[in-house]
Chains A and B, each alone.
Chain A
Amino acid sequence: MTRSSAQSAQSIPANAGIGLRAEHYQDVMDTRPAVGWLEVHSENYFGAGGRPLRVLERLRGDYPLSFHGVGLSLGSTDPLSAEHLRRLRELINRFEPGLVSEHLAWTSAGGIHLNDLLPLPYTEEALTHFVSRVVQAQDYLGRRLLIENPSTYLTFVESRIPEHEFLIEVAHRSGCGILLDVNNVFVSARNHGLDAAAYLDSIPAGLVEEIHLAGHVRNRFEDGEILIDSHSRPVAAEVWRLYGRIVTRLGRRPTLIEWDADLPPLDVLVGEADRAERILVEHGHALAS
């Protein structure tokens, strides 16, 4: 079942935005960079008070906000954390973000939280479970969620459903939207010998409400290499090309530059956003669907 998105104070425009990191708080407040919107990790604002919340209050007037969660652990077989949901709902009600998103992954089991996005087997059991969790969370939060495709480093023997089909089916059954991370598609495709372009082409335009772009690193071993979704580098050339491809098909979408580690100065981040914006302008003419 679906819920219409709560009409938020500022919905996210189909422009490029940046992730707001604590290290950049002062620079963002001082310089108010010309980006379309800001995205934050929801859990970083779970404290009772202090600088993070104060900064968010200051900036919300100037930028539409998007909340990106990493710890709700929708894919886990542990019960959803009541405390986590409660705090998230409080934050949503207070800040009225234009978008709220989470991951096709799990981050906890047996009461232990692992601070890494862990992979799901793509089975009917996992699909049914994940859909019910999305529905549960959307009902509680009173919001439609966007679910992000993961970066994966392994696949399970028992997986039967291709990942893109799994994600699309989650969206159809739960009414959620899709946050399409182009870097994750590229990384996963390389790690498993799949076709990134075909994956991207398969996602129905109407389901995609946000795009993420990020950097990755390459780890080489004797028996092969693997790409790691480190969010610690500029967006790679191949990922920019794939982004151009998806924007040509979909039209404009809110696009986030996601850089979480080895942070550059703010203007480098803004430079990446500017590049995304140019692609949106140049290629994003497809009619909205």
Chain B
Amino acid sequence: MPSLRDLQLGLLDYLRTGRPEPVAAAVRPAGLAPERRLQIHRNNVLGSLRQALTDCFPAILALVGDEFFAYLAYDYAVHHPPAEANLNRYGAGFPDFLGNHARLAELPYLRDVAALEWARQEAYHAADRPSAVLGRLAATDADRFGELVFLLHPSVRLLRSVYPALRIWEVNQPGHEGDQAVNLDEGPSRTLVARLEAGIVCVALSAGEFLLLSEIAAGRPFQAASDAALAAQPRFQLAESLQRWIGLGVIVDFS
């Protein structure tokens, strides 16, 4: 008689491989065959994992189609099964999985589109942080602004792609009307993903904005962050940008 642990590892093995032996021998053969009974569990596991990815990556689904997405979901489940019970984290590895997949070499932009969708998922569950910045700034000497290390809302993600990933994502949203064609040579995209008052947003950023926010995210004081932004984009409107991010709740505090 197998130990409880052996039985569980055996059933796990079946769920991953679909091979009923040897665990089927431990299943009572009454009425429906053991293989059929085991199959129920395999369908449940693979079905729910596929659903988790479908919920998280609708643009990828639109881009590759139902059948190929089902294959990718199956492949991902078998090679990257969940390491924790909280399924909200399951898709974290999916963007890189797509980027490294042997059968997706012709669709090199998938990884970055999936990264956008994953960033939205992370933003949805990120910690709350109300903005304290306006009041505090009003009480701060203007000549100290350069030293300030601003803090971004915990949901903020900054993504860069050599492909027009944001545009590809947009045209593959359910309900998108109009032209779905995107010229892959449109150029790189820089995107802010965040959870704001209005909900999850994906905002296209200029080179300067991207650099400003990235430097701030890395903990650089405002002077250094501004210098970097202006170096990348000499006509970058610094004051306007700062106001925008504070107003939207992307910048929430400073130290």
Contacts and interface: CB of A to CB of B under 8 A. Distances in A.
A116 B45 contact: yes
Contacts of A81: 84-85
Contacts of B82: 112-115
Interface string B1-27: 111110111011001100000000111
A110 B195 contact: no
Binding site secondary structure of chain B: helix
Contacts of B138: none
B41 A43 contact: no
A16 to B, nearest CB: 27
A110 B9 contact: yes
B180 interface: no
A95 to B, nearest CB: 16
A132 interface: no
B88 interface: yes
A126 B38 CA distance: 20
Contacts, number: 142
A120 B8 CA distance: 9
Contacts of B36: 221, 223, 226
Nearest to A76: B8
Interface of A: 43-44, 46-54, 70-73, 76-77, 81, 83-84, 106-116, 118, 120-121, 123, 125-126, 129, 153-159, 192-193, 219, 221, 223-226, 228
Given A50-B126, A71-B86, A154-B40, 14 more contacts: A48-B126, A50-B123, A77-B5, A84-B84, A109-B12, A112-B82, A154-B28, A154-B38, A156-B7, A156-B26, A157-B25, A221-B36, A223-B36, A226-B36
Interface of B: 1-5, 7-9, 11-12, 15-16, 25-28, 30-34, 36-38, 40-41, 44-45, 48-49, 52, 81-88, 123-129, 154-155, 195
